[in-house]
A and B are shown apart, each in its own frame.
Chain A
Amino acid sequence: DVKVTQSSRYLVKRTGEKVFLECVQDMDHENMFWYRQDPGLGLRLIYFSYDVKMKEKGDIPEGYSVSREKKERFSLILESASTNQTSMYLCASSLSLFVTGGDNEQFFGPGTRLTVL
């Protein structure tokens, strides 16, 4: 079974703090993704990575950065946390972006509920 883990289930930070959210997958997947999920807005893509050291902006990259130094690990960084970044953050991974069929299925981690005070 694919396993995607996230460093924390719940996190409380103060405005202006630098926040690191870590995600690790154990199935040698090429792609990793960071989403945030808010009521009424659904899943919104922040960044994704299709290879080590490669990254692509998603729909809402402002205020965030990412790092992928190793294939299995994808980090989301909030350089200076703000209250509007309070949200559920979900990490996902998939085998490849360029395969057909269900092999582009994304497997999700359990999520990190971040509260910025």
Chain B
Amino acid sequence: GQNIDQPTEMTATEGAIVQINCTYQTSGFNGLFWYQQHAGEAPTFLSYNVLDGLEEKGRFSSFLSRSKGYSYLLLKELQMKDSASYLCAVNQAGTALIFGKGTTLSVSS
């Protein structure tokens, strides 16, 4: 079967670092996406990993371990505007992305 797991909710304070984990079990794997979704808005692309290792993009980094079926999104120097849902999605060739249920991050001052 296909399964993607993420924590439902996380909280953090401004300026902190938070790591959002994603584990997956899928029949095929062709990369992993992270999306950000603010309340009432559409998901927007954050990062893509297809090889093992860390991809850094400003305050956000994403890590992938294909052998462990594991990824994380790392957010540094948290800001209030980072309060959003973060969606992990697995890419399989020939079909739509498979999305996790998302992690709602609340950043407080």
Contacts and interface: CB of A to CB of B under 8 A. Distances in A.
B72 to A, nearest CB: 18
A108 B43 CA distance: 6
A43 B87 contact: yes
Interface in A98-117: 98, 100-102, 104-111
A44 B31 CA distance: 19
30 contacts: A4-B42, A33-B96, A40-B8, A40-B101, A42-B87, A42-B99, A42-B100, A43-B43, A43-B99, A43-B102, A45-B96, A48-B95, A90-B42, A97-B93, A97-B94, A97-B96, A98-B94, A100-B31, A100-B50, A100-B93, A101-B50, A102-B31, A102-B48, A104-B97, A105-B45, A105-B48, A106-B33, A106-B89, A109-B42, A111-B42
Interface of B: 8, 30-31, 33, 40-45, 48, 50, 87, 89, 91, 93-97, 99-102
